Amino acid sequence: MTEAASAPVQHRMCQPGQWPQLTEQDRAIVRELGQIGIPRHAAAVLMAFRQNGQDLRVTSRWLEHVTDSQQPEMSMALAWLQKEGQVKVEKQMSEGGKGRPLKVFALTRSVEGYVRLKIYEYRQQ
């Protein structure tokens, strides 16, 4: 098993008000990424992974809290990143074996490598 495969799933690890948050610098980068064609909420997801560990396995709920986004925005951002091949659904888990399973998301490659690729594509236009 690889080191990345054994990374913990980050979900409900913090009490309300104690969730990690994007910094002002992260938010500035999100705005800059928007200028090269990465949707704002997708860019925020990338910054959340970059800030908290690119080997994390996280739920959309965790990402909603960290990026201060709502569920529909997060669903669209994750779908866009999946289409881009940057994020994958690694597994689904259910809390206590009941209810709807939670999807666990992970990066497929580094944030920096992906951003370099998007900058290159932007410059080629």
- Contact partners, residue 41, CB within 8 Å, separation at least 6: 67, 69, 73, 74, 76, 77
Q: Could you tell me where the DSSP H helices lie in 53-110?
A: 60-67, 71-84
- Is the CATH number of domain 18-124 1.10.10.10? yes
Residue-wise pLDDT tens digits, 89-102: 987 767 677 777 78
Digit-coded pLDDT (tens) for 2-12: 444 445 555 44
Instruction: Please tell me the pTM assigned to this model.
Output: 0.81
Question: β-pairing, 9-10 with 57-59?
Answer: parallel
